[in-house]
Amino acid sequence: MEKLSIVESVLDNLPVAIFAKDATNDFTFVLWNKKQEEVTTIRSEKAIGKNDYKLFAKESADYFRSVDKAVIKRGKLMKVPDEILETKDGEEVHLRTVKIPVFDPATQRQLVVGISEDITEQVRSHEQLETLNKTLSEANRELQETQMQLIQAEKLESIGRLAAGVAHEVKNPLALLLLGVDYLSQGIDADDENVDKILTQMREAVERADRIVRGLVDFSSQRALTREAIRLPDLIDDVLLLVKHELTRSNTKVEVRPCKDLPPVFLDLSKFEQVLINLIINATHAMADEPNPKLIIEVVTESLDLVVKNQGARKREVFRSGDKVVILRIIDNGTGIMDADTSRLFDPFFTTKATGKGTGLGLSVSRKIVGLHAGELKIKNREDQKGAIAQITLPTKLDATVGVDSIVAKGVDTNPHKLAPSDED
Amino acid sequence: MSKKVMLVDDEAGFTELLKMNLEKSGDYEVMIENDSMKALATARKFQPDIVLLDVVMPGMDGGDVQALFQADPILAKVPVIMLTALVDSAELSAGAVAQSGTSVMLPKPVDLPLLLRVLEENLEAAGK
C-alpha cells in the first residue's frame, strides 16, 4: 500500500495530466491525477469509475473513445492531435496528449493511459508571435510599396527631364513624313524614281517615331518588379534612343563596347532603363565643362573570384564563389567624384547639381533598383583620375535574384512575374 | 536660273526628302551636308545662295556653324534660315543667337509652302 501511495503522490506532483481508463470495463477512469483535475476542473472522486460519456459532451466523448479503441487495436503509443478542452468555467485549455496501451497482468485489465501536456501558454505565445509576425510582414510590405512608389516618383522626374528631348526626336520623323506628303501631293509622274524612296523613308519614319514613343510609354508604366530575360546590348540601344537628344545637345560621343557570348540577365526592363538613364544623364552633367565629352558603355562577364578580390568583403554577401557575373560600366571623362562626396553619393537628396537639375534621388533609387535584382552599383573615379566609372554587377543565375522573387511572392506585384526566354542563344 | 540651296542637318532622311521637294519645282539646286563639322568646307565649295541650317546637331550646333559662316567674307552675305524642332529653352537660346544675325527661324516639321515663301523672300532681299 505504501508503494502505491508513493506512486500516487509522484503522479500527483508531475506537471503533466495523467489518466488511465479500463478498456475491459467500458473505458471507465481508474486513474486521474492532480494536474488532470486542474486542466479538466473535474475532481478525481467525480471522475474515477465513470467514462467519458458521463464527464464530457457526447461529441468529445465519441472522439476520445475512437482514439482509445485505435490505441488498443494498434497496441502501441499514439500521439493524439492537439486538443482544445473547454472547462466548466468556459476557459479553453490546449492539450497535447499521448495515449499508451498498458496491459496489467495481475488484474488482466487492458488499460489506456493518457499523458496530457498543458500547452495553453505555448499556444498563446505562438499566437502572439504570429500576430507580431503578421504586423511585421504588413510593415515590410508597406515599406516595399513605399520603395516602389519612390522609384516611380523618381522615374516620373526623369521622364520630365527626358520629355523635351524625346519630343524633339519624334518631331524629326514627323518632319520627314510631312515632306513626303508634300512631295506626293504635288502629283506623281509614273516614272518618278523618288516615289519608292520617299515611301520607304516615310515607313521608316513612322516606325522610328513609334519606337521612340513606345519606349517612353514602356518606361513610364508603373509596374511592380517584373523580370524578363534581357540582353543588355538591346537595353542599352533602347536607352540611348531615349537620351539621344541629351547626348547630341551636349555633343557627347558614345562608344558602346559589346561583349561576345553575353548570357542574358533577368531584369525588370523599365526599372533598369531608369537606372541607365540616371547614370548616363549624371555622366553628361559631369562632362558639361569637358570640351570632348566621351561616354564609354562596356559590358563584360567576369569570374566571381576576381570580383571578390577587387571589390572587398561586401560582395561576399551578395554573390557566391564560382558564380559568373555580368558587369556593365558607364565610363565618363568628366570631373570625377570629390573625395568629400564619396561617402554621400548614395544618400537620398544628396546632389552636387544646381537646383532644378536633379532631385538627389537618382543614385539612391538606382542603387535600390540594382539591389532588388541582387546586384550591386558602385561609383568610383577612373584609375587615371580622368572621370568616373559607374559599375553595375549582376548575377547571371536566376536563383541569385532572391530579393525580387520574395517581393513577387509577398503580393506587392499584381502581375505575375514573367520569365521570357531569350531570343538568342 | 535655279538658285543654290544648301541643307545642313544631321537627319539624312529629312534632308533627302527636302531636297526632292525643293528640286521638284525646278527652281532650286540643292546640296546636302549631314555633317556639321564639314559644313564650312562644303559651303565654300558649293557657294550657296541660301542656307537651311538645323540647330541641334552632333559636333557643331547650328549657332556654331552660322558663326563660322559669318566669319567667312563670302558666306557672311548668304542668308541663313534656321530649322528646328524648337522644343526647349536651350534650343530657343541657341536660336536667339542665330536670330541676332540675318537669319530667320522656321519650326520643324516644316510647312513646305511657308518654307518656299521664306526662301523666295530671303533670296529677293539678298538680291539673288
Q: How many CB atoms lie within 10 A of CB A105?
A: 6
CB contact under 8 A, A172 and B85: yes
* Residues of A in Cβ contact (< 8 Å) with B58: 247-248, 251
pLDDT at B85: 74
How far is A379 from chain B, CA to nearest CA, in Å?
Answer: 28
- The pTM is what? 0.58
pLDDT, tens digit (0-9, with 9 covering 90-100), for A200-211? 989 989 988 888
Confirm if A180 and A199 have CB atoms less than 8 A apart.
Answer: yes
Confidence check on the interface: ipTM exceeds 0.90, yes or no: no
Q: If we measure between CA atoms, which residue out of A363, A379, A370 comes closest to residue A266? A: A370
Q: Which residues of B touch A249 (CB under 8 A)?
A: 56, 61, 90
Rg (CA), chain A: 37
A135 class by beta-carbon count within 10 Å (0-12 exposed, 13-18 middle, 19+ buried) = exposed
Q: Which residue of B has its CA nearest to A175?
A: B109
Residues linked to residue A327 through DSSP beta bridges, in sequence order: A300, A393
A262: left (phi over 0), alpha (psi -120 to 50) or beta: beta
Q: What whole-number distance in Å separates Cα of residue B106 and Cα of residue B118?
A: 9
Q: Can you give the pLDDT at residue A329?
A: 95
CB spacing of A180 vs B88 below 8 angstroms: no
| The pairing of beta strand A253-257 with beta strand A109-118 | unpaired
Chain A partners of B110 at a C-beta cutoff of 8 Å? Answer: 175, 178-179
Please give the interface size between A and B, counted as residue pairs whose CB atoms are below 8 Å apart.
74
Which residues of chain A are at the B interface, by a Cβ-Cβ cutoff of 8 Å? Answer: 164-165, 167-168, 171-180, 182-183, 186, 194, 197-198, 201, 204-205, 245, 247-249, 251
**Cβ separation B17–A168 shorter than 8 A:** no
Closest chain A CA to residue B9: A172
Check CB contact under 8 Å for B14 and A167.
Answer: no
Residue A372: which of A65, A186, A151, A55 has the closest Cα? A151
Yes or no, beta carbons of B109 and A198 under 8 Å apart: no
List, for residues A43-57, the tens digit of each pLDDT value. 999 999 999 999 988
**Residues of A whose CB is below 8 A from B111:** 178
Helices (H), A186-242: 194-220, 232-242
- Among B14, B28, B65, B82, the strongest candidate for a mutation testing the A interface, having the largest count of A CBs within 10 A, is B14
Q: CB–CB of B56 and A168 under 8 A? A: yes
Return the residue of A nearest to B89 by Cα: A164
Residue A184 Cα distances to A74, B22, B27, B32, angstroms = 95, 13, 18, 21
Which residues, given as ranges, of chain B have pLDDT below 70? 86-103
Please report, in tens digits, the pLDDT of each residue of chain A (425 residues total). Answer: 456 688 888 999 999 999 999 999 999 999 999 999 998 889 999 999 999 999 988 988 999 999 999 999 999 999 998 888 877 777 888 999 999 999 988 888 999 999 999 999 999 999 999 999 999 999 988 988 888 888 888 888 778 777 877 887 888 889 999 999 999 988 888 888 889 989 998 998 998 888 888 877 777 776 677 888 888 998 999 899 889 888 988 889 999 998 888 888 888 888 899 899 989 998 998 998 899 999 999 999 887 665 444 444 444 455 666 778 899 999 999 988 888 777 777 876 677 766 556 667 788 888 888 988 888 999 999 988 889 999 999 988 765 444 443 333 333 333 333 333 434 33
Q: How many percent of chain B have pLDDT more than 70? A: 86
* A176: nearest CB among B13, B24, B90: B13
- Name every residue whose Cβ is closer than 8 Å to that of residue A64 and which is 6 or more positions away in sequence: A52, A56
